[in-house]
Amino acid sequence: TLPAGRGGREWRAPVSSFSSFLPSFFTGSKKKEEEDAKKAATLKEELLAAIAPLDRGAEATPEDKDRVEQIAQQLEEVNPTKEPLKSELLNGKWELLYTTSTSIRQKLRPKFLRPYGTIYQAINTDTLRAQNMETLPYFNQVTANLVPLNSRKVAVRFDYFKIFSLIQIKAPGSGKGELEITYLDEELRVSRGDKGNLFVLKMVDPLYRVPL
């Protein structure tokens, strides 16, 4: 028997509310994850519908760009992958669906002179390599080394350009930039460049390897 306390009352261990707090904490956390996942699924559908007629952004009006930006920001708020550079989901070949980068969408060129084939970007986090690939009509490529700046942003150092998939040219020292992954799941990636450009890509080949 436990010794009696002052005044003859039996000693009782204080009941902690911490143990009862834990289940509710984890339940609340799981519920938020489920809500965020549902919201992300809806926003992904809205984003894909908004960019579908925009020719990767080349045909986007200012209103179109504002709408896409608004949806992208909402999607970024429910990003399920907080440290994308540590995630296997980032690895592989991604197809570019939309960008605000004028150097990629080449809006100032006549439509028949723009790249009309699929454009890809591949990333391998284990080797810290990246590759951008155009298809029809030019088949240009560029490879780069990646330098992690934090768990979601890298510095990009381009090393070689390949023209018509044949002629290899060493990239100039000015060929560099930064890329931040702001949304990532197994299907879709949203990234932002250091010049404020937005990129939306979908996964097409998770096993693709960038040349070393």
Instruction: Give the pTM.
Output: 0.82
Tokens 């965020």 correspond to what residue?
A: 36
Domain holding 102, by residue range, is 82-205
**Is the sign of the CA dihedral 168, 170, 172, 177 positive or negative?**
positive
Asked whether residue 101 is domain-assigned, the answer is: yes
pLDDT in tens, the chain (212 residues): 444 444 445 545 454 554 555 565 456 678 888 999 999 999 999 999 999 999 999 999 999 999 999 999 999 999 999 999 999 999 999 999 999 998 775 554 555 556 678 999 999 999 999 999 998 878 889 999 999 999 999 999 999 988 887 888 888 877 799 999 999 999 999 999 999 999 999 999 999 999 88
CA separation for the pair 172, 197 (Å, rounded): 22
132 forms bridges with which residues in the sheet? Answer: 121, 142
Asked whether residue 36 is domain-assigned, the answer is: no
CA separation for the pair 178, 111 (Å, rounded): 29
**Is the sign of the CA dihedral 17, 22, 23, 25 positive or negative?**
positive
- The rounded radius of gyration (Å) of the Cα atoms in the chain is 24
Asked whether residue 48 is domain-assigned, the answer is: no
Asked whether residue 162 is domain-assigned, the answer is: yes
Asked whether residue 142 is domain-assigned, the answer is: yes
> Strand 119-124 vs strand 92-99: parallel, antiparallel, or unpaired?
antiparallel
Asked whether residue 16 is domain-assigned, the answer is: no
CA separation for the pair 174, 132 (Å, rounded): 17
Q: What would the DSSP string read from start to end of 178-206? A: EEEEEEE-SSEEEEEETTS-EEEEEEEET
Total domain count, the chain: 1
Question: Residue 115: what pLDDT?
Answer: 66
Asked whether residue 31 is domain-assigned, the answer is: no
Dihedral of the alpha carbons of 104, 172, 128, 69, in degrees to the nearest 10: -30
CA 45 centroid distance within chain: 16
Asked whether residue 25 is domain-assigned, the answer is: no
Give the H or E element holding residue 103: helix 102-105
Q: Where are the beta strands (DSSP E) in 33-166?
A: 92-99, 119-124, 129-134, 141-148, 153-163
CA separation for the pair 57, 1 (Å, rounded): 78
User: CATH code at 107?
Assistant: 2.40.128.280
Question: Residue 158: what pLDDT?
Answer: 94
